[in-house]
Amino acid sequence: MAQRGSTRALGPVAGALMGVAAVLAAAEARAQAPAPPPSPSPARPAPDGPAKNPATTAPARPGPAAPTPPAPAFASSAADAARTPPLQPDRPVTVNLRRGQQAFFRVAPDAGEAWAVTTRRLGRNTDTVLAVLNENGEVVTEDDDGGQENLASRVEVQPGDGARLVRAGVLEDAGGRFEVVLTREAVLPPPNFATTQEDAANRPPLATGQAVRVRLRRNQQAFFRLPDDRTDLIAITRELAGNTDTALALIDSSGRVLAENDDSERGLASTLAVSRAAEGPLFVRASLVNEGPGTFEVMLEREAPLPPPDYPTTLEAARARGPVSAGQTIHIELAREGQAVFALPEGQALTLLTRNLSDNADTVLTLLDAAGEQVAEDDDSGGGVASRLSTSAASRPAAFVRATLLNGVRGSFELAIQGVAEAAPGGASSSLAEAARRPTLLLGEAVRIRLESGGEVFVALPYDGRPAQAMTYDLEAELDTELALVDENGAVLAENDDAEGLASRLDVPPTPRPAFLRVKLVDDKAGSFSLVLVRPAP
């Protein structure tokens, strides 16, 4: 008791220190004394319940090691792919790429000899690209947007493709998140057509009238050697399955493309004239728009011959024949990929238009300079699929006009050559000086005006000292007029483009005078419209 009391007398801090020292001394004494034999501790009754042994402290054991992070589901290089678990069929792998990073995969043997890899569940703005590599790291096949989802990719492999690795990336090396999934595919029978031009060169030529069924895989092409006699011969695709959209190309022995056709008069099918003369063998290449896959037939047909053209088909022949003249109408029947060329009179303004088009004919008129370079071109300004061009609207003098048909079809039409008067119809003039010499526009009297592409007309305004309003109306389809108020020097005082739809309306003050209306068409179109001057509503 005295000891306990003395501890209290020393104060709490000293007492705590002496207590710690006593504990340390007792521990040291126990460590130096021999250990007594173990004896059971006397049991003491618990206040409630049966007797229990005193709790003992379990010996310290090392805690479990931190779990090893799982290996990445993809390799970041082709070399690392050998140490990364391969893709398993129908087990998607999530890929999260940083900018400039790519993912590489091996394909598990369970996939078999034919398989496909697809990207799906693309993150926002992710645009994937898939490639299959061979053992040399060369691309066997590649795809950008062939997957079912928007911007997703799909590659397909068949026996003999030499596939070793799959590489997944994002367009322009951007980062992105997506899933990669491997699926088994059916093994396709060997194709009954050549898949390279070299292979086609060693096969017999395609026989006329013989249809070959073609099933193209993604990014695959079919090649056919053409017979030596190609007179009036065309290559066609037909019996297209589903949404198949074919394209045909005529290529020479060096692989140079001589002519191409995507969509003909047969819709998504293709028609290509292959009768042109060439040095060495020619080939037809059949492929799919958007790189497939798809199924269709390829066949050669010989068309009935057309009579020899009675019009020039080259610049030299047109130059030798001499220029056309205003008021002339020429009937033209064009073969596939054909053209008609005519010389134009020097310095004379002409309007050239096609009319009376046969079924499936869609004309194109092109103005050429003396060297044969394009000056201007028109497809459908003549109404419907007819064409219309004015030499006065060309950027530089035109020496020839060339007429062709779109989509490589046969067809007939007429080419009409019309003169262009210096004075525009309806009291309008093609120049400000001419308009100043002509009568003014009468109030309430509508005039019908036709303008060629790039043209403009001027109309003098009356001197009655009262305000007026000018407007255009009754515009031909897709025409867009523009009205401007100009002074005697041509300075623009006010203008209006669209008041109601594509028509124009312009308030005309009573001064200054002389003043003029300038009218022209927007977007370089040609056509007719009406112009009228009225009093504004009160």
CA atoms of 216 and 220, how far apart (whole Å): 6
Amino acid, single-letter form, for residue 519: V
Tokens of 247: 């394209």
Q: Is 106 exposed, middle or buried (0-12, 13-18, 19+ CB in 10 A)?
A: middle
pLDDT in tens, 354-392: 999 998 889 999 999 999 999 998 887 777 788 888 887
Please choose, from the candidates 237, 177, 256, the residue with its C-alpha nearest in 3D space to the C-alpha of residue 408.
237
* DSSP designation for 365: E
Over its length of 538 residues, how does the chain's per-residue pLDDT go in tens digits? 333 333 333 343 334 333 433 433 443 444 444 444 544 444 444 444 444 444 455 555 555 555 554 445 789 999 999 899 999 999 999 999 999 999 999 999 999 999 999 999 999 999 999 999 998 989 988 888 888 899 999 999 999 888 999 999 999 888 899 999 999 999 988 888 999 999 999 999 999 999 999 999 877 899 999 999 888 899 999 999 888 899 999 999 999 999 888 876 667 889 888 877 777 899 999 999 876 678 999 999 998 888 899 999 999 999 999 999 988 999 999 988 889 999 999 988 888 889 999 988 899 999 999 999 999 988 877 777 888 888 876 778 999 999 999 877 889 999 999 876 443 445 678 888 888 888 888 888 888 888 877 788 999 999 888 899 999 988 887 789 999 999 999 999 999 987 778 899 999 999 999 999 999 988 877 788 889 998 887 7
Q: Is 8 exposed, middle or buried (0-12, 13-18, 19+ CB in 10 A)?
A: exposed
The topology under which CATH files domain 432-534 is Jelly Rolls (2.60.120)
Q: Which residues contact 461 (CB under 8 A, 6 or more apart)?
A: 440, 441, 468, 508, 513, 514, 515, 516, 517, 533
Cα dihedral 29, 31, 35, 38, rounded to 10, equals 100
Give the global pTM. 0.55
Q: Is 220 exposed, middle or buried (0-12, 13-18, 19+ CB in 10 A)?
A: buried
Class assignment of domain 197-302? mainly beta
Please choose, from the candidates 319, 289, 417, the residue with its C-alpha nearest in 3D space to the C-alpha of residue 365.
417
The string of DSSP letters for 413-481 reads EEEEEEE--SSPSTT-BSSHHHHHHSPPPPTT--EEEEE-TT-EEEEEPP-SSS-EEEEEESPPTT--E
Contact present, 419 and 350 (Cβ < 8 Å): yes
Tokens of 70: 């799982």
Distances (CA, A) of 511 to 468, 476, 495, 507: 11, 32, 15, 12
User: Would you state the pLDDT for residue 349?
Assistant: 84
Asked if CATH classification 2.60.120.380 holds for the domain at 80-184, the reply, yes or no, is yes
Do 197-302 and 432-534 show the same overall fold? Answer: yes
CATH numeric code, 315-419: 2.60.120.380
* Domain coordinates in residue numbering, the chain: 80-184, 197-302, 315-419, 432-534
The string of DSSP letters for 469-496 reads EEEEESPPTT--EEEEEEETT--EEEEE
User: Would you state the pLDDT for residue 59?
Assistant: 53
pLDDT in tens, 102-117: 999 999 999 999 999 9
